[in-house]
Amino acid sequence: MNSERVAVVSGGSRGIGRAVAQTLGGQGYAVVVGYTSAADAAAEVVDAVTASGGRAVAVRADVADEQAVAAMFDAAEREFGGVDVVVNSAGRMALSPVADLDLADLDAQYRTNVRGAFVMAREAARRVRPGGAIVTFSTSVVGLRFPGYAAYAAGKAAVETMTQILARELRGRDVTANAVAPGPTATDLFLDGKDQDTIDRLAKQPPLERLGTPEDIAEVVAFLASPAGHWVNGQTLRANGGII
């Protein structure tokens, strides 16, 4: 019997998703690297996983498109025999005070961050095998309430609630559902548009006095995905270096 575990990671070509895909691949998972447009970057992740002795494929899928997401899960089942772990790392962020936010940016952000999270969770709930895990992404800004983040944090608060309800709906399936809420993390998505003074100020907020790295967050996800983390269920883990 094949004991290889299979992970589907959306947003797997960049940032935290890339680190998650490579971390899981390095731990022996077969990985489906989901991406939207960065085909070359996704191919690099596949190469990194295979170079470490793992198996991986890249699949293009807009997480808000239910047919594309279903096809990505089909690819996981066809290539690797099933799905054990689903990590939805795809996301976008548009920062603005509430009074100034362009509603087109709001709609685009919610299409990916809320509808996309729901579509991924729905497909995961239908397909993840017993013993598996579903991991969504929130943000520590839900609690920190930084000005300018209202639209982004509100969407992520919706993801937290959805994830907690999903964990209860999966009763009897032996499948967990948890959200990870990073704090300031050195990704392109986070760094874009911020001057050095802002970055330095945010880096000083945690008691550990640095920004998080994608690898920091990937290790938290890997724990939740593993048998060692299986008793954690229906939770939001705020991986932020101690910001309160």
Active site amino acids: 152
Residue 238, C-beta contacts closer than 8 angstroms, at least 6 positions apart: 140, 143, 181, 183
Pair 161, 113: CB distance under 8 Å: no
Structure tokens given for 15: 């940032």
141, amino acid identity: V
38, amino acid identity: A
Taking alpha carbons only, the member of 60, 93, 99 closest to residue 193 is 93
177: which strand partners? Answer: 134
Taking alpha carbons only, the member of 143, 140, 147, 124 closest to residue 225 is 124
CA 22 – CA 164 distance, rounded (Å): 27
Place of tokens 């991991």: 135
Please, where are the H alpha helices in 170-239? 188-191, 196-203, 214-225
- Length of the chain, in residues: 244
CA 183 – CA 239 distance, rounded (Å): 6
Structure tokens given for 100: 């100034």
Pair 224, 133: CB distance under 8 Å: yes
